[in-house]
C-alpha cells in the first residue's frame, strides 16, 4: 500500500472518486439466508444457566452464547423476552421475570434486552424479540408478585390445568397484549417481533379426555356463531391487528410466527398428527400466510426427512405452496433432537432441502441455541464445515421498502500500522458490510450501522456496502490499493 501523505480532505475526495470506479478482483457477493437460533429463557432452557446467577455472569454467559453463534455462522437470534406475562426488559406493564433472579419483579440490575440488542448488532446479528402473547403463568403453585396481571386483572385470567392463561376471547386482553408488545417496538431497536404456537393452550391432559378451555362466559359476552370459529376469529384479529400496528409504529420491524408444523392432520395428503392446531389451538396459520399478515412464517418442522406420517420435505413444500403473498418461509428445525437416532447430518440435509426452494430466499431457525453452541453430537462442527462454510446476510423484505440505501462514502486515514475507516452517516442503516482483501483473499463482516468509524487492518483492497433496515443492500464503494 502506498504511503498516505495527502491531507485528510484531499484523501477523502480521492477515495470518494476512486470508489465509484470498478476495481479488479471485485469483492464477492454474499449469499442471502436467515440463519437463526431460538434462545429460550422459560425454565432457563438456553439462558441464563439458572435463575439467580449474578448480572456479571449472566452477561458473560450471553456473550459466550453469541460468540459461539457467530462462529457457527448464524446471523440472527430469537430472544424470549416475555415467557408468561413477565419481562426480561424494563417494563411499565409487567414484572421482571423470575427466570432472571429467582424472584418475580426483582430488578436484575441491568436491562437484558437492551444488552442483547447491543451485543447482537455489534456482531452483525439481528435480534428478534420473542413474546408469548397469552400465557400468564406456567406453574400456578409459584408465587406471583403483586403487580402480575393475574393479580391486577384476575377477570382476564383463566386457569387451565397447571397454567394461568390470558383469555384471547376478551378484546381487552388482546388490546393489552398488543400494547405490551408495541411498547417494546417503540422503545427498543429490535429487528423483529416473534411469537410461537401458544395461542389457546395445548390440550390438557394431552389425550382424548382433555379439558375444555373455560371461556363460556367470554363467549356469552363477546361471541357469536359456533364457539370454535369464534376462537379462531379471536386469534385472527389479534394477528392482523398486531401486524398492522407494528408496521404503523416501525415499518421495518419484521413480524414472524412459528406455528405448529402441521396446519391440519391430513394436509398435505397422508400427513398424520396427534394435534389439530387449527381446531385445538385455534391457529389458522395458513390464513395468516395467505393474507400476508406476517413477514416470515416459521413452521416448526421438527420431523425427519424420512418420517412417513410427517415428511419434512412434503410439509416444507406445502407451506411454500401456500405462500401467496411471497413472504418468507423459514422453517424451524429440531437440532435438539440430534442424537443416536438422528445424526447431525439430518440437519445439514434439511438445510440443503430448504435451499432448493425456488421461491423466495432460504432461511431456518434451530431449536434451540443450546444444542448448537454446545456442539450436541457434533452438530455445530458439521454446520460450520458444510452448511455455513461461507457467510450469509439476512434476506431482504422488499415489501417493507423497495429503496436501497445510498452507496457509502468512505474515508481512510493511517493510524500506526492500521487504518481508520470513517463512513458518512446515513439514516436507517442496520449494518455496514465491510469486505477487505489481503493475500489470503477476501474477508467479509457486518459492522454495527449506528457507528461510523472503525479501526481496521491494512489491506490490498476494500469494499463497503450499506445494509438497510429492510435488508436491501446498497452498491459497493470499492477501492484497491495495489
Query: The C-alpha cell of 339 is what?
Result: 442424537
In a domain, 396, yes or no: no
Domain hosting residue 445, numbered range:
8-29+401-480
pLDDT digits (tens, 9 = 90+) for 428-460: 999 999 999 999 999 999 999 999 999 999 899
Domain count, the chain: 2
Q: What is the mean pLDDT of the chain?
A: 94
List the one residue out of 231, 258, 248 whose CA is nearest residue 131.
258
Give the whole-number percent of the chain exceeding pLDDT 70. 95
Q: Is residue 165 part of a domain?
A: yes
Residue 481 pLDDT: 83
Average pLDDT over residues 168-179: 98
Q: What is the pTM of this model?
A: 0.95
User: 171-187 vs 227-249: helix axis angle to the nearest 10?
Assistant: 20
Q: Hey, which residues does 255 pair with through a beta bridge?
A: 193
The model's confidence at residue 397, banded by pLDDT at 50, 70 and 90, is very high
Contacts 24+ apart (CB under 8 A), 341-345: 342/304, 343/377, 344/376, 344/377, 344/378, 344/379, 344/381, 344/382, 344/383, 345/382
Give the angle subtended at the CA of 469 by the CAs of 468 and 474, to the nearest 5°. Answer: 10
Residue 21 DSSP one-character state: S
Q: Quick one: pLDDT band at residue 482, thresholds 50, 70, 90?
A: low
- The grid cell for 63 is 456473550
Instruction: Kindly state whether residues 406 and 321 are assigned to the same domain.
Output: no
Where is the domain boundary, 366, 390, 414? 390
DSSP summary character for residue 472: -
CA distance 20 to 8: 19
Q: Mean pLDDT across the stretch 252-261?
A: 98
Q: Does residue 453 fall inside a structural domain?
A: yes
How confident is the model over 121-147, as a mean pLDDT?
A: 97
94 and 125 fall within a common domain: yes
- The residues with which 96 forms a beta bridge, in sequence order, are 87
Q: Are both 286 and 217 inside the same structural domain? A: yes
Given this model, what pLDDT does residue 311 score? 97
> Cβ–Cβ contacts within 10 Å for residue 89, how many?
22
Same domain? 383 vs 406:
no
Whose grid coordinates read 455445530? 380
Is 435 inside any structural domain?
yes
pLDDT at 458: 87
Q: Can you tell me the mean pLDDT for 282-292? A: 98
Question: 260 and 164 in one domain?
Answer: yes
Considering the chain, what percentage of its residues have pLDDT values greater than 90? 91
* Those residues with Cβ within 8 angstroms of residue 156's Cβ, 6 or more apart along the chain or in another chain: 149, 166, 167, 170, 172, 173, 176
User: Which of 368, 390, 412 marks a domain boundary?
Assistant: 390
Write the pLDDT tens digit of every residue in 328-360: 999 999 999 999 999 999 999 999 999 999 999
The pLDDT of residue 320 is above 60:
yes
Amino acid at each position: 500500500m502506498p504511503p498516505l501523505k495527502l491531507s485528510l480532505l484531499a484523501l477523502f475526495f480521492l477515495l470518494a472518486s476512486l470508489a465509484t470506479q470498478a476495481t479488479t478482483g471485485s469483492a464477492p457477493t454474499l449469499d442471502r439466508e436467515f440463519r437463526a437460533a431460538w434462545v429460550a429463557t422459560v425454565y432457563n432452557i438456553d439462558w441464563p444457566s439458572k435463575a439467580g446467577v449474578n448480572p456479571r455472569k449472566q452477561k458473560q454467559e450471553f456473550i459466550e452464547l453469541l460468540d459461539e453463534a457467530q462462529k457457527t455462522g448464524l446471523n440472527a437470534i430469537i430472544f424470549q423476552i416475555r415467557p408468561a406475562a413477565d419481562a426480561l426488559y424494563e417494563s411499565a406493564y409487567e414484572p421482571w421475570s423470575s427466570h432472571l433472579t429467582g424472584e418475580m419483579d426483582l430488578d436484575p440490575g441491568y436491562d437484558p434486552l437492551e444488552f442483547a440488542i447491543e451485543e447482537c448488532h455489534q456482531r452483525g446479528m439481528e435480534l428478534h424479540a420473542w413474546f408469548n402473547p397469552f400465557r400468564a403463568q406456567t406453574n400456578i403453585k409459584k408465587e406471583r408478585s403483586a403487580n402480575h396481571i393475574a393479580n391486577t386483572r384476575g377477570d382476564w385470567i383463566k386457569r387451565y390445568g397447571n397454567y394461568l392463561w390470558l383469555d384471547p376471547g376478551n378484546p381487552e386482553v388482546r388490546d393489552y397484549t398488543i400494547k405490551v408488545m408495541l411498547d417494546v417496538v417503540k422503545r427498543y431497536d429490535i429487528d423483529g417481533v416473534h411469537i410461537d404456537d401458544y395461542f389457546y393452550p395445548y390440550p390438557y391432559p394431552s389425550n382424548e379426555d382433555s379439558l375444555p378451555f373455560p371461556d363460556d362466559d367470554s363467549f356469552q359476552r363477546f361471541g357469536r356463531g359456533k364457539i370454535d370459529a369464534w376462537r379462531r376469529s379471536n386469534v385472527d384479529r389479534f394477528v392482523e391487528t398486531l401486524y398492522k400496528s407494528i408496521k404503523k409504529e416501525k415499518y421495518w420491524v419484521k413480524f414472524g410466527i412459528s406455528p405448529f408444523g402441521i396446519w391440519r392432520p391430513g394436509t398435505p395428503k397422508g400427513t398424520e398428527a396427534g394435534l389439530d392446531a387449527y381446531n385445538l389451538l385455534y391457529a389458522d396459520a395458513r390464513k395468516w400466510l395467505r393474507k400476508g399478515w406476517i413477514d416470515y412464517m416459521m413452521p416448526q418442522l421438527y420431523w425427519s426427512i424420512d418420517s412417513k406420517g410427517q415428511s419434512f420435505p412434503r410439509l416444507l413444500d406445502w407451506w411454500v405452496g401456500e405462500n401467496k403473498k411471497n413472504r418468507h418461509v423459514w422453517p424451524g428445525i429440531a437440532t435438539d433432537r440430534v442424537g443416536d437416532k438422528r445424526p447431525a447430518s439430518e440437519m445439514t440435509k434439511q438445510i440443503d432441502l430448504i435451499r432448493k426452494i425456488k421461491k423466495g430466499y432460504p432461511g431456518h431457525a434451530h431449536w434451540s441455541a443450546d444444542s448448537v453452541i454446545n456442539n450436541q453430537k457434533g452438530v455445530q462442527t458439521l454446520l460450520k464445515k458444510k452448511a455455513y462454510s461461507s457467510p450469509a446476510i439476512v434476506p431482504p423484505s422488499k415489501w417493507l421498502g423497495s429503496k436501497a440505501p445510498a452507496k457509502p462514502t468512505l474515508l481512510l486515514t493511517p493510524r500506526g500500522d492500521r487504518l481508520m475507516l470513517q463512513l458518512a452517516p446515513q439514516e436507517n442503516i442496520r449494518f455496514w458490510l465491510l469486505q477487505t482483501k489481503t493475500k489470503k483473499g477476501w474477508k467479509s463482516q457486518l459492522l454495527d450501522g449506528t457507528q461510523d468509524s472503525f479501526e481496521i487492518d491494512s489491506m490490498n483492497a476494500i469494499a463497503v456496502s450499506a445494509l438497510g433496515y429492510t435488508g436491501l443492500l446498497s452498491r459497493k464503494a470499492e477501492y484497491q490499493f495495489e
